[in-house]
């Protein structure tokens, strides 16, 4: 239905940002089947559906680019729950695979993977002094990221100036992924 409405208004799409995501933080065995399905649908299937829905319009776009918003949890364990991490890892791999498949169509695919960003979703974690201290100790910049810093990375990857960048996953993480032990 959405594609029908959009196709009647616009024939081409130059950029798409898949930025939906949520989490339920708990131990793996504690997830109900409904919670697991909810996370899979919200975090992964929605991105797949949007890519499928708009691929034809992106192909007609001028230097079309897609940016998927993943998470560092898709690359390393951050204690945010296995289903969340699984969805974000799959989203990052989807980005790489579609970058290769869609490059001949003129569509670039990239991802950004934030660490902790000051948002309503992270507020329950960041409001816990012990968790906040642990997060900051693992972040070389010693601070929490801002939404506009993620938005700037996304905007760059959508720009023509990034036209030779595809299949990449950019950590927006204050150095978290680089730190190691």
Stretches in the chain below the pLDDT threshold 50 = none
The model's pTM: 0.93
**DSSP β-bridge partners for residue 170:** 112
pLDDT score recorded for residue 8:
65
Give CA angle at 93 (88, 94), nearest 5°: 95
Using CB atoms within 10 Å of the CB of residue 160, give its burial: 0 to 12 exposed, 13 to 18 middle, 19+ buried. exposed
Amino acid 5: pLDDT: 60
Q: Can you give the pLDDT at residue 10?
A: 80
36 is catalytic: no
What's residue 180's pLDDT? 73
So where are the chain's domains? 15-176
Name the CATH superfamily for 15-176.
NAD(P)-binding Rossmann-like Domain (3.40.50.720)
pLDDT of residue 1: 53
Residues in the chain: 181
Residue of 31, 36, 84, 116 marked catalytic: 84
CA 11 distance to own-chain centroid: 26
- Cα 157 to Cα 155: distance, rounded to the nearest angstrom: 6
**On the CB side of 91, how many CA atoms lie within 13 Å of its CA?**
37
């Amino acid at each position: 239905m959405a594609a029908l409405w959009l196709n009647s208004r616009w024939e081409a799409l130059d950029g798409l940002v898949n930025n939906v995501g949520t989490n339920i933080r708990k131990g793996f065995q504690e997830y109900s089947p409904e919670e697991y399905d909810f996370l899979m649908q919200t975090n992964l299937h929605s991105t797949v559906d949007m890519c499928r829905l708009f691929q034809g319009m992106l192909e007609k776009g001028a230097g079309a680019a897609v940016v998927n918003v993943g998470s560092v949890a898709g690359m390393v364990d951050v204690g945010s729950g296995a289903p969340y991490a699984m969805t974000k890892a799959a989203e990052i791999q989807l980005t790489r695979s579609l970058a290769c498949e869609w490059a001949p169509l003129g569509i670039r695919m990239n991802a950004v993977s934030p660490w902790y960003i000051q948002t309503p979703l992270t507020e329950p974690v960041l409001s816990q002094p012990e968790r906040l201290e642990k997060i900051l100790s693992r972040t070389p910049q010693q601070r929490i990221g801002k939404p506009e810093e993620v938005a700037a990375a996304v905007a760059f990857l959508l720009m023509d100036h990034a036209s030779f960048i595809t299949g990449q996953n950019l950590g927006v993480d204050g150095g978290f992924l680089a730190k190691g032990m």
